[in-house]
């Protein structure tokens, strides 16, 4: 028996959280990729044009795949979704709370590690 699908929209707070999470992922992913490109391109071939091209190709080709999986993950999370024409939304489950707390702590640790530990090493 096939059940009819319910039209669903999302609360603004869900959209804000999704946007901020994607931005954090993007910052970390681009920084790590750019750093590795700068690290592995030999100095004799390292022109600004080549480095910029490699970073752009890396960034856009990998982020497209990442975004697909990011959206698929968010599709499975009910928090912040609401059936159209209804006032009640889905509460965040315990699993979702643990996942988002873990992700927030991990992202914060990575960002501060990049700023405080890795960044000074680049200048040396």
**pTM of this prediction exceeds 0.85:** no
Question: What is the per-residue pLDDT for 39?
Answer: 86
Long-range contacts from 59-64, C-beta under 8 angstroms, 24+ separation: 59/29, 59/30, 59/33, 62/29, 62/33, 63/26, 63/29
Question: What is the per-residue pLDDT for 79?
Answer: 81
Question: What is the per-residue pLDDT for 89?
Answer: 56
**What's the CA gap between 92 and 96, in Å, rounded?**
6
Question: What is the per-residue pLDDT for 109?
Answer: 81
Pick from 121, 105, 103, 111: nearest CA to 38: 121
Q: List, for the chain, all residue ranges whose pLDDT scores fall below the cut of 50.
A: none
């Amino acid at each position: 028996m096939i059940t009819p699908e319910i039209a669903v929209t999302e609360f603004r707070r869900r959209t804000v959280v999704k946007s901020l999470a994607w931005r954090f992922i993007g910052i970390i992913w681009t920084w790590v990729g750019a750093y590795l490109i700068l690290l592995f391109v030999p100095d004799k071939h390292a022109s600004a044009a080549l480095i910029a091209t490699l970073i752009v190709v890396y960034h856009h080709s990998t982020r497209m795949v990442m975004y697909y999986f990011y959206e698929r993950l968010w599709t499975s999370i009910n928090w912040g979704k609401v059936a159209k024409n209804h006032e009640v939304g889905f509460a965040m489950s315990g699993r979702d709370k643990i996942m988002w707390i873990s992700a927030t702590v991990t992202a914060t640790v990575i960002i501060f590690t990049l700023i405080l530990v890795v960044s000074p090493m680049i200048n040396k």
